[in-house]
Amino acid sequence: MEEAPKPEGNVSTATVHVPESRIGIVIGPKGAKIKMIQEKTGVSRIDTSGDVFTITGPPNAVALAETAVKELVEKGYCTLQYEDFAENFVNVHPSCFPDLIGKQGAVVRKIKDELGVEINFPETQKNAAPGKKYKVTLAGSGQGVEKAKQVMTNIMMYSHDELTHPGQVHEELEIDNWAWRYIIGKAGSEMRHIQNNYKVKVIIPRENSLVDKVLVVGEPNDVERAKVYIEKLIWNAENQQKGRDKVDNGDVWGEEEEEEDWMKQYIYKR
């Protein structure tokens, strides 16, 4: 429980109880957050003893510092950190969380470090409707927040942005949905072959996708080579259908694996 600042002449004190799980966030790396609060508010000192933070200084400065500490506890950031503070959010379907976070947090960390913004992902609900989107909150300078929104939107649409995936490009392929199964292959084997052989990422549109075309993502030369291969694959499939009553599934690449649930509606069963 927080105590209001206590005047002592022209000096006040206030205490804030910080949950153990948030102490590191309030203090910051090597005490950086505490130092920042002291410098920007002008408080004399901020002492820590376990989960109790004691703020001492001029009354107005103490009030500002107390607010900053409480914001760090509740949100993980505080308005004092930024000259031109802004908050915003992006509506995100949970299927996009892995792309936005990246392996071991590499993508979201890159956005935060490069743009100086804070990004908070909410906890998802177990029984939520399949199409439910969640607010991912952004905080920082106005310019940084707007840039972060654009980067995140690009990643949700195309699985890359120049800031987080430098040098990558994408191609949108106009392929009828009846033919998607040929790109996937039996139990996903054809898709694995394309992705492993050409070092690209192939994205088939799904219910919550922001783009309704097949996407190929990677380095420019790799994307072009994969595109040629896929177009040939589809051309062969179209000509097989014209020439036969029964569709031949063609070559199967890679090891047999169980297909993912979303693939099942597109995969041809022998």
* Model pLDDT, residue 221: 97
Tokens 């506890």 sit at which residue?
A: 73
Alpha helices in 116-213 (DSSP H): 142-158, 180-184, 189-198
The residue type of 48 is: T
* Model pLDDT, residue 2: 55
* Model pLDDT, residue 116: 92
Residue 15 · residue 45 · CB < 8 Å: no
Beta bridge partners, 88, equal 138
200: left (phi over 0), alpha (psi -120 to 50) or beta: beta
Beta bridge partners, 55, equal 14, 46
**CATH architecture of the domain with residue range 3-76:** 2-Layer Sandwich (3.30)
The pTM (predicted TM-score) of the whole model is 0.75
**Where do the domains of the chain lie?**
3-76, 85-166, 170-263
* Model pLDDT, residue 258: 52
* Model pLDDT, residue 246: 44
Question: Candidates 3.40.50.970, 3.30.1370.10, 1.10.3720.10, 3.40.50.300; correct CATH number of 85-166?
Answer: 3.30.1370.10
CATH 1.10.10.10, domain 170-263, yes or no: no
The Cβ of residue 218 has, within 10 Å, a number of other Cβ atoms equal to: 24
Collapsed DSSP state (helix, strand, coil) of residue 110: helix
* Model pLDDT, residue 257: 47
Sites in the chain below the pLDDT cut of 50: 1, 245-257, 266-270
* Model pLDDT, residue 251: 43
* Topology agreement, domain 85-166 and domain 170-263: yes
* Model pLDDT, residue 259: 54
